Amino acid sequence: MNFNEFKKELFDCANKLGCSAAEVYFEEGDAFSVNILEQEIDRYTAAVKYGLNLRVKYQGKDGYAYTEVFEDAEALVKRAIDNAKSIESEDEHPMQGKCEYEEVGTMLDPFKNATEQDKIQFVKDLETKAKEKDERVLRTPYCMLETSKLAIHISNTLGLDAKEEVSVSVVLLDVVMQQGDETKEAYAFEVGEYAGNADMVVDSAVSLCADKFNAAPVKSGDYRILMSARTMSEMLQVFWRQFSADLAQKGMTLMANKEGTQVANEIVNIIDDPKHKVYPRAFDGEGVPTKTKHLIENGVLKTLLHNLKTAKKANIESTGNAGRASAAGAITIMPTNMYLQAGTKSYDEMVQSLGNGLIITELEGTHSGANDVSGEFSFGAKGLLVENGKTVRAVDQITVAGSFYEMLMDIEELGGDMRFCAADGSSFFGAPSTIIKKLKVAGS
């Protein structure tokens, strides 16, 4: 039985058993991952993604059931109905009706049509290039390529019929280098079109690692900070939930009820752009057409991220940010391609503009050192000391601390080097190098 036949059986059974509506979310595709160590395959995965999530509306409540086989439609519907009967929440979660979708362009995935052998060879060559780049490179513990192709189909009894194919590739290179008695480690992460640029990946990882030698802490105090594009991207990844309408409606983010007010310096624009070439998508996890929106525009909070459920509560339209971690996952809220809009200065100009302060090139403990509700953070960090607009030496064994909200207000300059350097599932986060007026630094 194929998908369309099984879908029809599900909808017929749902109608027969008293459901007011039914919806299926179906995924099929493949995922590939390989890690090379000393020119040998260290880890290898080639898996098939395949699953169907059924949602029914029964007596005013939503019920869910999941399957990986197209068999016994009636049993699946009954499981979903039983799930609906056990739900205590009275919150209404609407379904999207029939709609049209805009063209969003094609993702720039250099490995979209590559064979598995091509992918393995690319990673082997990546390791070779890393060792040839600098004689101090000892090994590459992680020299990894991950690719994924996925076809998504969302259909319901209200007339929705959304289909989309997506693919994405991610490269991770971790290098260990030795200089004298010192051993240092650093990594580079690339997604989309840059994932296939081995020289760029190698240059990034090796230069980051080389900059760590002869490091020492600085004295504790307030420092003017230049966040690299990568560390600022990671900040967005850590704190994107501050823009979740679901958390706002539960009183779990300070962005609640702040729409129309200034929450950042007027030079700050944070955009969620589902049409960006890094990972374009026409609809969200509920089949709602996606749209580009400013979360913050010229420092003013314009909107939070909504799915149909939170939009219904707020009496507004969904922003097209329903998410699903997988076909088996519940409907949540997720960004698409979220980024801090770039300025115009080059990185070198940003360093000169910093004057005296610290460049933060690496953050540690981002999962444990942040408070999602208050926005407070305290992260281990590494970087470079800058004096009179020039880098002086490497810095390590420090902690940077502050508030995400205060940091947004204290952004003073934005570089022109915006990159997507962080990911959370199918959400990608980008930022340029960013000068922040001050953060607290704990050092020696």
Overall average pLDDT of the 91-111 stretch: 89
Two structure tokens written together for 354: 């910093």
Question: Is 226 strand, coil or helix?
Answer: strand
Torsion angles phi and psi, residue 303, rounded to 5: -160, 160
Tokens of 145: 């390529």
Q: Hey, how many other C-beta atoms are within 10 angstroms of the C-beta on 260?
A: 9
pLDDT digits (tens, 9 = 90+) for 133-185: 999 999 999 999 999 999 999 999 999 999 999 889 999 999 999 999 999 99
Predicted pLDDT of residue 90:
72
Assess whether pLDDT exceeds 80 at residue 106: no
Residue 105, pLDDT > 90, answer no
Nearest of 120, 96, 47, 78 to residue 306 by alpha carbon: 96
pTM for this model (two decimals):
0.95
Alpha helices, DSSP H only, in 60-185?
Answer: 73-86, 116-133
Average pLDDT of the chain is 95
Q: What is the 3-state secondary structure (H, E, C) of 331-345?
A: CEECCCEEEECCCCE
What pLDDT sits at residue 43? Answer: 95
What percentage of the chain reaches a pLDDT higher than 70?
Answer: 100
Q: How many helices (H) and strands (E) does the chain have?
A: 9, 20
State pLDDT tens for residues 287-307. 999 999 999 999 999 999 999
Phi, psi for residue 10 in degrees, rounded to 5: -60, -45
Both tokens assigned to 207: 């230069």
**Cβ neighbours around 199 below 10 Å, total:** 10
Closest CA to 177 of 128, 134, 125, 214: 134
Residue 326 — very low, low, confident or very high, per pLDDT cuts 50/70/90? confident
> Which residue matches tokens 């439609």?
73
Give the whole-angstrom CA distance, residue 292 versus residue 275: 7
